[in-house]
Amino acid sequence: MPYNPTRALELLGLGTQNPAVYREGQEAAIQHVVDGRGRLLMVQRTGWGKSFVYFIATKLLREQGMGPAILISPLLALMRNRITAASGMGVRAVTINSENKDEWETVEAALARNEVDILLISPERLANEHFRNEVLAPVAARISLLVVDEAHCISDWGHDFRPHYRFIERIVRTLPANLRVLATTATANNRVLADLQTVLGPNLTVSRGELGRPSLLLQTMRMPSQAERMGWLATQVPNLRGSGIIYTLTVRDAVQVAGWLQSRGIRAESYSGETGERRVELEQALLQNRVKALVATTALGMGFDKPDLAFVIHYQTPGSVVAYYQQVGRAGRALAAAHGVLLSGQEESDINDYFIESAFPSREDVASVLTALRESAAGLSISELMSRVNVSRGRIDKALQLTSLESSAPIAKQGSKWMLTAANLTEAFWERAERLTALRRTEQQQMQKYVALTQGHMEFLIRALDGNPGHHVPPAIRPLPATADATLVREAVAFLRRTSLPLEPRRQWPTGGLPHMGVTGRIAPEHQAQPGRVLCVWGDAGWGSLVRQGKFRDGRFADQLVEACAAMTRSWAPQPAPAWVTCIPSRRHPNLAPDFARRLAVALNLPFRPVLEKTDDRPAQKQMANSSQQARNVDGSLRIQGTVPTGPVLLVDEMVDSRWTLTVAAYLLTTHGSGPVHPLALASTANADEWLRR
């Protein structure tokens, strides 16, 4: 059956809930897909309406009696948004993802009964053997349309490269030449376009629209300190119309900034990959303007659709122009004017450096993992690998994931174990890693040029995406002031110094236990540390810099830190209340921790008893890259000297990383007669994997 323009326009009206009016190129794209004119790549700006194209095309194809469509989408928030949009047009859209496991059987049965119009999945689902064999294979011959949303993720050059999108490349190459394939993205420069044409060909038609956003007024401001930026947010956000998004680079910053805004009476919530079950609730709160702002990581990114979003503010500079364009483009889709403000801080370079450096495993990481697997014919689980190689959990995961996705993969997973295959890792893998790392560095430098602009911001973004800035005219609204209220900045400093971090106890010994101590399995509850507190993150904007100064410059922690920890302890009020204080000893800095713990004990009016002793010199815990290595580094390194008081104890350490030193100390103290052990640390130096998350 030919394309039905009347029905297509009717569906558009249902979807927009407004009089149906196509944007330039929308109807041509729908007709191209429905009539089967070949594979199509749509490069259209955020808010143009790419989802209407594939939902209307899906509905028309289904009404012609064809099979379901498959949509591959990178983010859960995007999937939820897409499903809501589809329902308005009567499109039966369902998803199989990591958060709806209790619905999988129902969805699979509906798909088998041909009661699903479009199935939304993540690219990672394609790696699941059950999904490929039991869900996808039975309907493969009936699939009417394959949609690849955010198709720039296919490209090695894409700003948000997702390794599992490489499965799509392999699938596309095996598909019948006449199967309808539609790929969409808002952020593809010429380099990404060329890559996508190679992957999605043959005979790929490209529909490319204008990139300019005349409703967005863009600004950049350098504000090195977090307190200054927090003061600026508290000054400006209440005066902005409508609601918006404040993007941070890390989960920790999202939580901290949201907490600060809440303390100023601003309705703000944090949103990240760790928000869990509240994600849907928070998305709806923003959509319905029940919050002034979501302080979010990129977990709230591609595809989130709120046409009247009034502002997008970046608390730090993202790693690339295309990432920034994607995120700031959430604002002002259906407004005459909206604000896009980028605040540049001193910590962003370190954070972006971490993301760049951790994107690929090193040759040494991969060699260590492959050697360990070679020495174990039965294969190794991740926890077993951690006990054999001094590589962090995150880097082990990365090495396993990326090498297993190679077309001739040197490793494969069987059950919970990873095993070697007959294939070897080719030099092409490392060439790609080096090429992409160099590209990320170039993108990082380009963003710093953007930060330095005083005008022409949108034009800069358009040129960076290989578009034509033409005669871009910004909206007629006033720029926001580039200064913060000095009183609010001081209050932000005080807020940063009031916050503390929870210190969760370990409840399990590492795989294989600790041989010297003779312990394994679960730690008995009476020998576990109690939940504790950490004053700050090493080097952060609150107390972190003063901690670093005390350790490496002054050789003694400042009285301010004693007062802060005493105040934190009183506020925390651990129960049963500590009756005495002790500390973790150090052979490298023998006086640092005892001096601090003794002064803290005086401030709390408690006795200090140095009952723990180091047995020998060990490598610093920061040299141990994962939890298993860190645990074994502590095994046998501590012992009790003298008599242990019987009451509850405040156990003080200057730094906490893996928590194994505190865990072993708590075990020794309680087995020698102490009461419950409440750990307290000045600063967390936990591996970046623990807090640099999105």
The model's pLDDT over 336-365, given as tens digits with 9 standing for 90+, comes to: 999 999 999 988 988 888 888 888 889 999
Does residue 493 lie within any of the structural domains? no
Does residue 494 lie within any of the structural domains? no
Measured between alpha carbons, how far is 205 from 223 in angstroms, rounded to an integer?
44
**Domain match, 236 and 153 both:** no
Strands of 88-160 (E only): list them: 93-96, 118-121, 145-148
Cβ 681 vs Cβ 660: under 8 Å: no
Does residue 490 lie within any of the structural domains? no
Core vs surface per residue 523-560: b (16+ CB within 10 A) or e: beeeebbbebbbbbbbebbbbbebbeebbeeeeebeee
Return the higher-pLDDT residue of 199 and 288: 288
The tokens describing 113, both together, are: 């009964």
- Domain end among 187, 208, 229: 208
Per-residue model confidence (pLDDT) at position 303: 60
Greatest mean pLDDT among 56-65, 77-86, 396-405, 685-694 lies in 56-65
Does residue 30 lie within any of the structural domains? yes
**pLDDT mean over 163-188:** 81
**Domain match, 413 and 459 both:** no
Measured between alpha carbons, how far is 123 from 79 in angstroms, rounded to an integer?
12
Cα angle for residues 568, 295, 570 (degrees, 5° grid): 10
- Domain end among 208, 239, 263: 208
Measured between alpha carbons, how far is 446 from 463 in angstroms, rounded to an integer?
12
Return the higher-pLDDT residue of 246 and 278: 246
Per-residue model confidence (pLDDT) at position 500: 82
Phi then psi dihedrals of residue 318, to 5 deg: -65, 175
Measured between alpha carbons, how far is 324 from 556 in angstroms, rounded to an integer?
43
Does residue 535 lie within any of the structural domains? yes
**Domain match, 360 and 348 both:** no
Residue positions counted in the chain = 694
**Domain match, 359 and 320 both:** no
Strand order across the 501-503 sheet = 501-503, 532-537, 677-684, 649-656, 580-583
**Domain match, 230 and 150 both:** no
**Domain match, 308 and 456 both:** yes
**Domain match, 144 and 252 both:** no
Per-residue model confidence (pLDDT) at position 628: 86
Question: Residue 534: which CATH number?
Answer: 3.40.50.2020
Does residue 264 lie within any of the structural domains? yes
**pLDDT mean over 641-648:** 95
Does residue 468 lie within any of the structural domains? yes
3-state secondary structure of 104: helix
Radius of gyration of the chain (CA): 28
Per-residue model confidence (pLDDT) at position 564: 95
The model's pLDDT over 468-511, given as tens digits with 9 standing for 90+, comes to: 888 788 898 999 999 999 999 999 998 988 878 899 999 999 98
Per-residue model confidence (pLDDT) at position 685: 81
**Domain match, 298 and 184 both:** no
Measured between alpha carbons, how far is 535 from 547 in angstroms, rounded to an integer?
10
Residue 444's domain comprises 216-352+440-485
- Domain end among 176, 208, 240: 208
**Domain match, 389 and 445 both:** no
The model's pLDDT over 42-83, given as tens digits with 9 standing for 90+, comes to: 998 877 888 899 999 999 999 999 999 999 887 666 677 777
Cα angle for residues 8, 14, 15 (degrees, 5° grid): 90
Give the model's confidence band at 688: pLDDT under 50 very low, under 70 low, under 90 confident, else very high: very low
258-267, 333-342, 406-415, 607-616, range with the lowest pLDDT = 406-415
Per-residue model confidence (pLDDT) at position 687: 47
In what helix (H) or strand (E) does residue 271 lie, and over which residues does it extend? strand 268-271
Question: Residue 399: which CATH number?
Answer: 1.10.10.10
**Domain match, 177 and 242 both:** no
Does residue 492 lie within any of the structural domains? no
The model's pLDDT over 259-285, given as tens digits with 9 standing for 90+, comes to: 999 999 999 999 998 888 898 899 999
Question: Residue 57: which CATH number?
Answer: 3.40.50.300
**Domain match, 179 and 234 both:** no
In what helix (H) or strand (E) does residue 71 lie, and over which residues does it extend? strand 69-72
Phi then psi dihedrals of residue 205, to 5 deg: -90, 135
User: The whole model's pTM is what?
Assistant: 0.84
Per-residue model confidence (pLDDT) at position 132: 83
* pLDDT exceeds 90 at position 29: yes
Average pLDDT value for the chain: 89
Per-residue model confidence (pLDDT) at position 596: 97
The model's pLDDT over 210-242, given as tens digits with 9 standing for 90+, comes to: 888 899 999 999 999 999 999 999 999 999 999
Per-residue model confidence (pLDDT) at position 150: 85
Measured between alpha carbons, how far is 76 from 83 in angstroms, rounded to an integer?
11
**Domain match, 66 and 173 both:** yes
Counted domains in the chain:
4
* pLDDT exceeds 80 at position 592: yes
